[in-house]
Amino acid sequence: MAKLYPMSLDLRADLASLLIRIVDVESVSGNEAMLADLVEEALRLPHLDVHRDGDCVVARTHLGRSERVVIAGHLDTVPVVDNLPARREGDVIWGRGTVDMKGGVAVMLQLAAELTAPSKDITWIFYDNEEVQASKNGLGRLAANRPDLVEADFAVLMEPTGAEIEGGCQGTIRAVFDLQGQAAHSARAWMGHNAIHDLAPILDALVRYEPREIEVEGLTFREGLNAVTVSGGLASNVIPPSATLAVNYRFAPDKTADEAVAHLREVFGNVGFRLDDVSPAARPGLDRPLARAFVEAVGGEAKPKFGWTDVARFSELGIPAVNYGPGDPSLAHRDDERCPIDHLERCATGLRAWLAH
């Protein structure tokens, strides 16, 4: 399949056309350079001060406004599965990244060019490596390398939300249980110790676990605790000498990451585990004046974010943030990713109403 690379991005184009051009620049995590180059080139505009950190592009207004907001979105996608180039069918754009999250990137780019005199100073951040391990995350790297470029009073992360506001986000922990047994011939099982059987009390605790619904600042988050991967065994005639089970805990923003880990220790008792990944939750922050103004300008009713997003990074920096972007989040990463053009236009209209007044 031939890859399509536009020579430039026309930010005056309609949102559907702009999204198609962005999608056609393949930018799987680690391969964002081409798209980052095009974004940087397109944003070299008189009213914007442009910075580059690796494949992260930052464009800022400097109008002396009393408030500064960040609008952020990532350039990378998960791997392509015969879903490029993009195609338009009626009022829907299909292709890798249309939902997660090049639809949001298209809206950002159009508004970054259009809003030359917004009511708030704006920092537009287009970053790399969001879809891979946290250590590579371009927003995290930017915050470490140039914290001054991330400073703001409020942030909007354009993750897909169906063009509705989603406040905060759940935290996530991946706990790994490593069970050790003793290998033996399965005909003489009493001479060994079956590590897979030792998973039983852990699995039993998971089956008995009742996920909680927790209200935080008026939004109800539903937690989840589930086994996600399991491995073990050497051969069909060998008693397994080892077994590994990974468990994913999605926790509400009423607790810190340390409190979430403590909860896991309560659930599993004296069965030890190691932490493979810990990402904190983020409180909605919808009680802040800028957040209230955003909700009023965009309209609709805020919902909780089921999942982890980089609003948690902003929260750690003391910046309240919400998720707001085009595309149905349930289609993210699917082979049949597709975004209604109406979602693009609704998000552009909502942000324009907030930023222009």
**Would you please indicate which residues are annotated as catalytic (active-site) residues?**
76, 130
N-terminal to C-terminal alpha carbon distance within the chain: 46
Handedness of CA 137, 142, 144, 149 (dihedral sign): negative
**Nearest one of 144, 139, 171, 134 to 155, comparing CA atoms:** 139
Neighbouring residues of 53: CB distance < 8 A, sequence distance ≥ 6: 138, 141, 142, 145, 146, 149
Q: Which amino acid is at 74?
A: H
12 alpha-carbon distance from chain centroid? 28
Neighbour count for residue 57 (Cβ, 10 Å): 27
- Lookup: tokens for 118: 């917004």
C-alpha distances in angstroms, 136 versus 123, 158, 336? 21, 19, 27
Neighbouring residues of 289: CB distance < 8 A, sequence distance ≥ 6: none
C-alpha distances in angstroms, 80 versus 23, 76, 97, 179, 270? 11, 11, 9, 36, 43
- Lookup: tokens for 309: 């997003």
Neighbour count for residue 110 (Cβ, 10 Å): 22
For residue 88, the SS3 value is: strand
Cα 195 to Cα 192: distance, rounded to the nearest angstrom: 9
